[in-house]
Chains A and B, each alone.
Chain A
Amino acid sequence: MSVEIPKSLKDLPNSSPRWVGRRVKRVEDPHLVTGRTEFIDNVVLPGMLHAAILRSPLAHARITSIDTSQAEKLPGVFAVVTGEDALRWSFPAPTVPEEWGTHCLATDKVRFVGEPVAAVAAVNRYVAEDALELIAVDYDSLPVVADATKAMDPDSPLVIEEKGTNVMLQRVFTWGEVDAAFAYADRVFTEKFRWHRLGANPLETFGVIAQWDPVEQSLTLRASVQAATHFGLGRAAVLGLPSNKVRVVAHPHGGSFGGRGGTRGTDVTALLTRKAGGRPVKWIEDRTEYLTAGGSQSWDRYYEVSLAVKNDGRVTGLDVKLLDDMGANGEGFGAICTAKPLACFTGPYTIPVARYDLTIVATNKLPQSPYRGMGPPPHNCVLEQMMDIAARGLDVDPAELRRKNFIPKDAFPYTIASGNEYDSGDYELVLDKALELADYPQLRRQQAEARAEGRCVGIGVVSAIEPGVFDWNSYSVVGVQGTGVPEGATVGMDIMGKFTIRVGFALEGQGQYTLATQLVADYFNVEFDDITVVYLDTQSAPPAFGPGGSRLGVALSGAVLGACERLKAKLVKVAAGLFQMDPEHVELMDGKLVAKGVAGVEMPLAQVAGTMLARSDLLPPDVDPRPEATYVWTAPGRTEPDEEGRAKSYLTAAQAVHVVMLEVDADTGMVEILRYCAVDDCGTRLNPATVEGQIEGSIAQGVGAALLEEYVYDEEGQILTSSFMDYLLPTINEVPLTEKAFIETPSPFTPLGAKGCGEGAMHTTPAAILSAINDALAPLGVQATEVPASPNRLWTLIRSAQPQPAGD
C-alpha cells in the first residue's frame, strides 16, 4: 500500500493543528522531575548479583599467570570469569574496521590501561570489589606504543601482533582534479593542527542487567543503551548466539551523545550470568571506569590541511591529511568518525575538488568511540581555521570570504565533491541574520577599542554544515556494510478511542516521545492525554534504530505519520462500508470520518474503532479488523557508494553561522566569551523547545571541546585524566549567554520539512571559538592550532610571540 507522508502541516487532516511546531511541555518530564523514571540502576531482580571488573594497570603487557582461587572463596562471591571463559564462550568483538578486535577479557595480553582481565559476580558491589583485590595477576611489561606518529615506525611495538602492523586503514580519496587546482591556485595556504582526545560523558554511565537462561540458551539484557537492535545483534555475534536468542530491553538513560559504550562490559557480564548458572547479574560502570575504559574517548587527531585559493577569494581546492589514533582496537566504532566527514567534506562552500588522505593507527590507548557530530566537529574546525588563514592572507573580511564561497540558494539539491547531496539552504540569509544579530560592525569597533587598550580580543565568524539523518553508506570507507536505516512505529486505537504509539527505542533526552504524541494529536485531532507512548523491546518492536546521527526527529515523524496514514486508510474503508459509500468519497478531517460533500454523514474516530473491534462481522472482507497500523520509514534515494566512497548519505544538511567575541587574558591564557551569537537553519522546527535545547546543549559541549576537555596519556600509555577533577566538563559558569535566531528552509525530502538537528552546534562551536581565539592572537603573530586551547597552551603561545614592529 503506497503511503504519502505529509510534507507540511497543511497536509495533515486537521484544519487547525495545535501541537506540531509549538513549544509543548514534554510528556516525559513529570516522571523525570519526580525521580521516577526507571534508569537501569533502579531495577532489582530476584537473585540478582552485582559485577565488578578487574582491569589492567598496564598499557601493554603479557599475562603470565592469573589466580582467582582466593576470590572464589570469598563469602558472597558466586562467579569469577577470566580470559579462559571468554575463549570458551565468546568470539572477538565485531569492529570497525573489520577484524581489529579481541576477546572481552584479556586472553594473553593486555593492550590498554583499563582493559578487563577478570570479573566477579557477588551479593553486592562492595563484596565484588573486595574479591577483585584477591585476584592475583602477573604481568610481563611490553614496550608501549603511545604516540600515533611513531606507530607506523618499522620497529614500533605492535598492538595486535597477528595483524603485522598498527595501521588499521590507509587510503587516499581524490575527488576531482585536485593537483591541477593547487597548481593553478593564486595562493596555497597550509597548516597543521592537533585535536586531542575528548568524549561524550553522559551523566549516567553505562549499566546492564544480564540474565542467562541455561535451558533456552538465551540471554536477556536490560540496559541503558542507545541503539538496542544493533547492540543486541553485536552481543549475539560475540556470544555465538542466534539473533533470536538475545533480547534487549532498553531503559531510559541519562544521555548518550554517541558515547555510551558498554559493549565489552555487557559481554563480560553475560559470561558472569552464564557462569552463575543463570542468576541475573547487574553491572553499573562507575565514572572512572567510563573515563578510562568506556565509550568515553573520541577524535585523537593530527591534521595537515591545505587550501587552494584564487586572488578573488574563491576557494578552488581542499586537501586534508588526517592521522587518527584509534587506540587499541576497533570495537568502539570510533573509526566511523573518520568517515562521516565525507557527508560534509567541503562545508557550506562550492569548493569543487578535494582530497582526503586518511590513516588510522592502533596504539595502546582506549579504543575510540563515537561522539556527537561523529567526526565533522574537528574537520569543520580545521576547515574554518583555513578559511580564516586565507582571509588574513588575502586581507579580506572572514565573513565576506564565507559569503563569496557559499553554495548559492538556487543551487540545491547540491552534490558536493565527496558525493553527498545537501537538500536545501539559504546560507547568505543565515550569515546576514547572524551578522545583524551580533551587530558585527559594532563588534569590530569594540575590538579595535579593546586592542588599543592592549587587550587580546578576537571575533570569529564561522559557518558549518550540520548533516542529519545518517545512513550506513557514509561509513562504507571504513568497512561498514549496507544502506538504509529503518525506523518503525505502530499507531493504534482502543475501543474507547484512546491512542497508543509503539516504538522501539528508549528515551535519552531529546523528547522524542513528545514529538510522536504531537504528531498523532494533530493528525487525529485528539488531546495529549488521549495518547500513550509505549516502548517495545527487541523481541516485539518494529525495525528500529532509535536516536543517532541526528536522525530520529525526521525518521520518527516519518514512521508515525506513515502509520497514521495507513490507519486512516483503514478507518476510511470501514467508515465507507458503514456509510455504504465508496472509500474515495470518505475522508478523515478534524478527528472525524466524514462523507465528502454530504452534510451530516460522519462518525467520530472512537466509534469507527469500536466497530472494528466489536463488530468484525460488519467489516468489508479485505479490512484487517485491528484499528492500528505500522509503518517503517527509511530515507529515500540513498545510493550505494562508488569506488571513491561517494554516495548520497546523510539526507539533510542543516547549516549554521556563529559569531563569537572573546578575550584571551595574556597573563593567564584564560578565555572569556563576551558575546556568542548563533543562527541556525534546520528546516521546520517540529518542537522549537527541543531544537533550542539541542542547540544550547551542543554549544556547551562545543565550549568544553574548544577550551576544557582532554584525555591525557603519558609515554607509558598511563591515563592521567581518570576523574572529573582532571577531565573538565563545562559548568553553568563556562557557558555563554547565547543569543539565538533561526531561519527555516524546509527540506524537500523529509516529512514536514524538518532537518536533523540533534548533533547541532557541536559541528560549529569548536570552530567558532578557535577562530575567535586566533583572531585575538593574530596581532601577536601566533596561532592556536591545538584543541583544546587550554590556558596553558595559550599562555605558552603568547609568551613565545615576538613583539610586532609598529605599523605591521
Chain B
Amino acid sequence: MTTQQRVRLTVNGVSHEASVDPRTTLADFLRGELALTGTHVGCEHGVCGACTVLLEGRAVRACLMLAVQADGANLMTVEGLEDHGNLHPIQEAFVEEHGLQCGFCTPGFLMTVHELLRKSPDPSDAEIRDALGGQICRCTGYLAILRSVRLAAAKLRDSHVAGSTQHS
C-alpha cells in the first residue's frame, strides 16, 4: 500500500479535505470520494472530454489529472451549475434546443461552454466550433449542441442586461 497524501480543495464552493492514494485521478476522486458523479469518464485518455471540469475557471480533463495536482484549487463541476434544482441558463438552453440525447457527454460540454461564454459572451459559430472541437458527442451529431450554445449565449447576455447577477 502506498502512502496516502492529503488533499484540500474547494468544489462548487464547498471545501473538502481527504487522504488519497497519490495515483488516484481527479475524476475518480470527484466521483468516488466526493460522490460528485455528474462528471463522467468516457475514455480515460483525454480525448473525449466527458470528464471536463473547471479548475480556477479553466476547462481541464479530470481523467488526465491526479487528485493531488488539484490540491489547494477551486473547482467547478456540473453540480455547481444548478441552484437547488433550478437550471442554469446554459442547462436550460440545452433542454430547449435538444442539445442532448443520452446525456453522458453533456456535463463535459456544459463546463466547456461555461468557460467559453465567460470569455466570449457573443461567440461566432466558428468560435463555438473551435471551443467545442475537443468534446465528443456520439448521439446528437452536434448541430443541436451548436443551437444550444447560441441560445445559451443569448440567455446569458439577456440576464446580464436585466441586471441579474444570479448566474455567472
Choose the segment among A100-108, A156-164, A251-259 that binds chain B (4+ C-beta atoms closer than 8 Å): A251-259
* B48 partner, pick from A507, A690, A724, beta carbons under 8 A: A724
CB atoms of B37 and A693 under 8 A apart: no
CB atoms of A202 and B138 under 8 A apart: yes
> Contacts A33-B91, A34-B91, A254-B40 known; A729 to B102 CB distance under 8 Å?
no
Say how far A669's CB is from chain B's closest CB, in angstroms. Answer: 21
Q: How many A-B residue pairs have CB under 8 A?
A: 176
CB atoms of A724 and B105 under 8 A apart: no
Chain A residues, CB < 8 A from B128 = 732
CB atoms of A203 and B95 under 8 A apart: no
- Report the contact-size class of chain A (Cβ under 8 Å from the partner): 35 or more
- Convert A9-49 into 0s and 1s, putting 1 for each residue whose CB lies closer than 8 angstroms to a CB of B: 00000000000000101101111111111010110000000
Complex Cα–Cα for A34 and B24 (A):
25
* B138 partner, pick from A35, A41, A201, A287, beta carbons under 8 A: A201
* B38 at interface by CB-CB < 8 Å: yes
Complex Cα–Cα for A255 and B132 (A):
20
Complex Cα–Cα for A25 and B145 (A):
15
Say how far A41's CB is from chain B's closest CB, in angstroms. Answer: 7
* A341 at interface by CB-CB < 8 Å: no
* A699 at interface by CB-CB < 8 Å: yes
CB atoms of B45 and A254 under 8 A apart: no
Choose the segment among B74-82, B114-122, B157-165 that binds chain A (4+ C-beta atoms closer than 8 Å): B74-82
Restricting to A648-707, which residues have a CB under 8 Å from any CB of B? Answer: 689-690, 692-693, 695-701
CB atoms of B82 and A126 under 8 A apart: no
* B18 at interface by CB-CB < 8 Å: no
- Convert A717-751 into 0s and 1s, putting 1 for each residue whose CB lies closer than 8 angstroms to a CB of B: 00000011100010111010110000000000000
CB atoms of B47 and A33 under 8 A apart: no
Which secondary structure dominates chain A's binding surface? loop
Chain A residues, CB < 8 A from B145 = 732
Chain A residues, CB < 8 A from B77 = 35
| Chain B residue total in the interface (Cβ 8 A) | 56
Chain A residues, CB < 8 A from B47 = 723-725
* A510 at interface by CB-CB < 8 Å: yes
Chain B residues, CB < 8 A from A697 = 101, 138-141
CB atoms of B133 and A731 under 8 A apart: yes
* B144 at interface by CB-CB < 8 Å: yes
CB atoms of B143 and A737 under 8 A apart: yes
Which secondary structure dominates chain B's binding surface? loop
> Contacts A33-B87, A203-B137, A697-B101 known; A26 to B95 CB distance under 8 Å?
yes
Restricting to B50-79, which residues have a CB under 8 Å from any CB of A? Answer: 50, 77-79
CB atoms of A29 and B95 under 8 A apart: yes
CB atoms of B48 and A126 under 8 A apart: no
Complex Cα–Cα for A793 and B41 (A):
33
CB atoms of A29 and B100 under 8 A apart: yes
Complex Cα–Cα for A283 and B35 (A):
18
> Contacts A204-B104, A696-B144 known; A30 to B42 CB distance under 8 Å?
no
Complex Cα–Cα for A23 and B144 (A):
13
Complex Cα–Cα for A698 and B103 (A):
16
* B39 partner, pick from A35, A37, A692, beta carbons under 8 A: A35
Complex Cα–Cα for A465 and B144 (A):
25
Most chain A CB neighbours (cut-off 10 Å) among B21, B78, B103, B138: B103
> Contacts A25-B95, A34-B87 known; A204 to B102 CB distance under 8 Å?
yes
Q: Kindly list the 4 A-B residue pairs having the minimum CB-CB distance in the complex, ordered from nearest.
A: A35-B38, A254-B104, A32-B103, A509-B102
Q: What are some 6 contacts across the A-B interface (CB < 8 A)?
A: A33-B94, A34-B38, A41-B37, A253-B102, A696-B140, A700-B138
Report A's interface with B, CB cutoff 8 A: 23, 25-26, 28-37, 39, 41-42, 75, 126, 201-205, 252-255, 257, 286-288, 507-511, 689-690, 692-693, 695-701, 723-725, 729, 731-733, 735, 737-738
